[in-house]
C-alpha cells in the first residue's frame, strides 16, 4: 500500500443555499497521482463541491489546501494558476468561438467567469506564440487539430467533451476535476474518453471526476468517495465501495 500523499486536503467545507445545506464535507483528501471518483445521487452536492474548491463559488465555512498551499478565499483563475482546474461545459457564448479561441481563452483560467470581460481585458488574439503552440499540441492529442478554426458549437457531443478536457489542460495543471466528462456522449466514444482520462493519470496528473456509470467508475478509479446530501458517507477502493450497503442505499434513495 502506497504511503498517503494528499495533493488536496479539505476540512469543514460548507455551503448552503437558503435553508438547504448543499455541501457539508468534514474531511476530504485526494491522493496525488490517483484517479478518484466522486459519486452520489443527483443533488448530492458534487458540482457545488467542485465549484467551491476551485474558487467559482464561496464557502460558508471551511478550509482547504492544494500542494500544501491554502486556497480558501482565492478566486477561480488564481486557483487554476495554482495547478488545480475544473472543466466547464461549453456555454452558449463559447460555442460561438472557434475551437482554437476556446483554448486560448482557457490559457487564462477564466472560462467559468465573465468570458467577454476576459476577452476585452487581455487582447488574447495578440497572445504570444507559446499559447498557440500549446493549444495546437493539445488539440492534436485530443484529435481536434483539424477542427481548430471551426466554431466550437459545430462539434459533436463527444468532441465537445474532448474540447472541455483539452481546455482545462491549457494552464498545465497538476490536478484536473472533471464533472461528468462522459455525459451525453455516444457509447462508441466512451472508451476513447476513458483512455484520455487514464492517460492524464499516467502522465502524473491527479484526476478527480464525477460520473454516474458504475462500470466506468469501477473500471478506472483508484479510489471512490461517496457523497450524499452534501456529506461524505463512504470512501474506499472500488471493490469495497461496490459491496458497501450505505452506497447502495444512497443510490436507491435517489
Ligand atoms: P450534484 O452535482 O451532486 O447533482 P449540485 O451540487 O448541483 O448536486 O446541487 C446540490 C444541491 O444544491 C441541490 O439541491 C441543488 O438544487 C442545490 N444548488 C446548487 N446550486 C445552487 C444554486 N446556485 N442556488 C440554489 N441551489 C443550488
Ligand atoms: Mg452535478
How far from the centroid of its chain's Cα atoms is residue 212's Cα?
A: 15
Specify whether 246 is located in the same domain as 197: yes
pLDDT of residue 228 exceeding 90, the answer is yes
Q: Answer whether 17 contacts ligand 1 (Cβ < 6 A).
A: yes
The residue from 157, 172, 187 where one domain ends is 172
**Residue 111: which residues within 8 A CB-CB, separation 6 or more?**
88, 94, 105, 167
Specify whether 79 is located in the same domain as 177: yes
Task: Tell me how far the alpha carbon of residue 198 lies from the centroid of ligand 2, in angstroms.
Answer: 22
The residue from 172, 190, 206 where one domain ends is 172
233: helix, strand or coil: strand
ipTM more than 0.95? yes
Q: Which of 86-95, 96-105, 153-162, 165-174 has the lowest mean pLDDT?
A: 86-95
Specify whether 165 is located in the same domain as 94: yes
What residue's CA is closest to ligand 1, atom 14? 43
Specify whether 181 is located in the same domain as 165: no
pLDDT of residue 126 exceeding 90, the answer is no
Predicted model pTM: 0.90
Ligand nearest to the CA of 51: 1
Q: Is the dihedral of CA 240, 241, 245, 246 positive or negative?
A: positive
Specify the number of domains making up the chain: 2
Task: Tell me how far the alpha carbon of residue 23 lies from the centroid of ligand 1, in angstroms.
Answer: 9
The pLDDT value given to residue 123 = 55
DSSP states of 12-43: EEEEEETTEEEEEEEEEEEETT-EEEEE-STT
Specify whether 106 is located in the same domain as 177: no
Q: State the residue for C-alpha cell 467559468.
A: 112
Domain that holds residue 122: 90-172
Specify whether 185 is located in the same domain as 144: no
Specify whether 165 is located in the same domain as 180: no
Ligand nearest to the CA of 25: 1
Specify whether 52 is located in the same domain as 100: no
Q: Which helix (H) or strand (E) holds 6?
A: strand 6-17
Specify whether 159 is located in the same domain as 179: no
**Angle of CA points 158, 164, 167, to nearest 5°:** 140
Amino acid at each position: 500500500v502506497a504511503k498517503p500523499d494528499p495533493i488536496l486536503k479539505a476540512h469543514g467545507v460548507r455551503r448552503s443555499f437558503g435553508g438547504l445545506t448543499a455541501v457539508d464535507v468534514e474531511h476530504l483528501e485526494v491522493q496525488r497521482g490517483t484517479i478518484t471518483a466522486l459519486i452520489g445521487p443527483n443533488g448530492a452536492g458534487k458540482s457545488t463541491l467542485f465549484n467551491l474548491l476551485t474558487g467559482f463559488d464561496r464557502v460558508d465555512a471551511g478550509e482547504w489546501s492544494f500542494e500544501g498551499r491554502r486556497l480558501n478565499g482565492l478566486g477561480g483563475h488564481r486557483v487554476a494558476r495554482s495547478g488545480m482546474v475544473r472543466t466547464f461545459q461549453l456555454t452558449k457564448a463559447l460555442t460561438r468561438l472557434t475551437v482554437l479561441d476556446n483554448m486560448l481563452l482557457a490559457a487564462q483560467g477564466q472560462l467559468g467567469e465573465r468570458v467577454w470581460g476576459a476577452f476585452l481585458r487581455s487582447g488574447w488574439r495578440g497572445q504570444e506564440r507559446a499559447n498557440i503552440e500549446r493549444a495546437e499540441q493539445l488539440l492534436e492529442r485530443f484529435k481536434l487539430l483539424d477542427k481548430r478554426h471551426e466554431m466550437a458549437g459545430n462539434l459533436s457531443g463527444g468532441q465537445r467533451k474532448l474540447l472541455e478536457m483539452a481546455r482545462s489542460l491549457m494552464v498545465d495543471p497538476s490536478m484536473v476535476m472533471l464533472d461528468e466528462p462522459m455525459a451525453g456522449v455516444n457509447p462508441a466514444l466512451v472508451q476513447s474518453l476513458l483512455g484520455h482520462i487514464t492517460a492524464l493519470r499516467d502522465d502524473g496528473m491527479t484526476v478527480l471526476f464525477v460520473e454516474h456509470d458504475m462500470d466506468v467508475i469501477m473500471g478506472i478509479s483508484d479510489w471512490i468517495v461517496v457523497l450524499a446530501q452534501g456529506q461524505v458517507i463512504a470512501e474506499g477502493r472500488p471493490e469495497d465501495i461496490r459491496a458497501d450497503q450505505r452506497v447502495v442505499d444512497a443510490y436507491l434513495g435517489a
